[in-house]
Structure 1
């Protein structure tokens, strides 16, 4: 019989950049007791995003963060700057990435590659609690 589980995970983003929360997701999925299925994660914000990214080499994450800083720089050239110079660049960076992930579950484990981790990509400078909706469907 197909089952479902849902939860809101809070990820504290103390700084801009990539924040690994793979272990929290893996622990939550394990507690659901399912063996096969599909996990969906959804970021409930417009100035942060979700990525599956390299989890072994910190330089890969730094390069990714630097790339997004170059293509969506902070500054005064945006019409939308209600919350400061990082406001609109945060929206652009979120639009260029994604706010949802789908990860298969097989043999009671998320089907992530050896070097893949699940990250919140924070695009703002103000420390923020980000809400990630998790939904697991399976057997």
Structure 2
């Protein structure tokens, strides 16, 4: 067997499970951030109207303005969270696409899947903050003057 470079057999034959060549991580990050800071989103979620809410241009504009006001650190954190979602979906044997596919559509995760994603996201978040130089302080044990 020889080793070395050879022509890629799939060159020019791109096939995606999306109509775009990439998921727009910036827009995904805007939505992820908006969920934390928007009272209307929280109400829509309680009522089970998340999809309708996300189709409202005024709500999305609020999300965009909120994201623009974030520091670079928080913008990057939201973008990193958006990037991590593909890994989370893979872990629970799911993926996202905007194409019609011959799979059952998942519109709700099980409690176990949510817990698994939550643990993975928390670990990502902790590592991200550690990498940025943050350190944990146990305020219960620390004497605050």
After TM superposition, the score normalised by the length of structure 1 is: 0.24
Specify which structure has the higher proportion of strand.
1
Specify which structure has the higher proportion of helix.
2
After TM superposition, the score normalised by the length of structure 2 is: 0.23
